Amino acid sequence: MPKRKTMLAAILLCAFAAQASASDTLSGAEIRQAIAGSTLLVTVLGGDEYTEYFAPDGTVTMKGDDGVYDGTWVVVDDTICIELTFPSNDGCWRVALNGHAITLIGMDGDIDYEKTIVARDGEAAEP
């Protein structure tokens, strides 16, 4: 029984943490300020790393070991919408920011991507 209670407590704690991060999302203006001109680093399942440069003009360039992918990004209401030539990365997300950590939260409330701001315009070259 104690293991069961511990497991239930851990599950509830994770659920509350996900809700807290979803409720602390940025407004459209805050998303634009955090993302425009930023280079982000993301590690996807399997361990592949990609850098993404979000240009202020609404273009995005994603670079990884498997190539370079171009696309667009736009803020719609309080979400960021991204369309890339890379498969399965199109969609809109709410955004949470904690220091340099960016979390993209799907419309279902699940955390879809965790990224890190590694540079802002003027700090490093585009990928």
Q: Which residues share a beta bridge with 115?
A: 42, 102
| Structural tokens at position 100 | 């340099």
What is the rounded distance in angstroms from the CA atom of residue 22 to the CA atom of residue 16? 10
**Domains of the chain, earliest start first:** 25-120 (2.40.128.640)
Average pLDDT over residues 59-67: 91
* pLDDT at 21 (0 to 100): 45
Predicted confidence (pLDDT) per residue in 3-51, tens digit: 443 333 333 334 334 444 445 899 999 999 999 999 999 988 778 899 9
Distances (CA, A) of 35 to 1, 61, 97: 47, 13, 10
- At residue 101 the predicted structure's pLDDT band, cuts being 50, 70 and 90, is very high
φ, ψ dihedrals at 109, nearest 5°:
90, -5
- At residue 122 the predicted structure's pLDDT band, cuts being 50, 70 and 90, is low
Predicted confidence (pLDDT) per residue in 70-84, tens digit: 999 999 999 999 998
| Structural tokens at position 95 | 């955004």
Of 118, 126, 113, 124, give the one whose Cα is nearest residue 44. 113
φ, ψ dihedrals at 121, nearest 5°:
-45, 135
* pLDDT at 91 (0 to 100): 93
* Predicted structure pTM score: 0.76
Which of 30-34, 102-106, 121-125 shows the lowest mean pLDDT across its residues?
A: 121-125
What is the rounded distance in angstroms from the CA atom of residue 8 to the CA atom of residue 11? 5
Predicted confidence (pLDDT) per residue in 85-95, tens digit: 876 678 999 99
